[in-house]
Structure 1
Amino acid sequence: MGFLSGLFHSRDKPTNSTNGSSYRFLFGGSNSDKAVNERSAMQMTTVYACVRILSGSIAGLPVHVYKYTDSGSKEKAIKHPLYRLIHDEPNPEMTYFVFRETLMTHLF
Structure 2
Amino acid sequence: MPAATARSRTCTRCEQPKSPEEFYPYSHGWCCDCYRAKALDRYHRLKPAAKRREGKAQTRTEKPCSDCKKTKPIEDFARNRAHRDGRDNLCKPCQKTRRQARAAEARAEMAGCGR
TM-score (norm 2): 0.26
Structure with bigger strand share is: 2
TM-score (norm 1): 0.27
Q: Which structure has more RCO (C-alpha within 8 Å, separation ≥ 6)?
A: 1
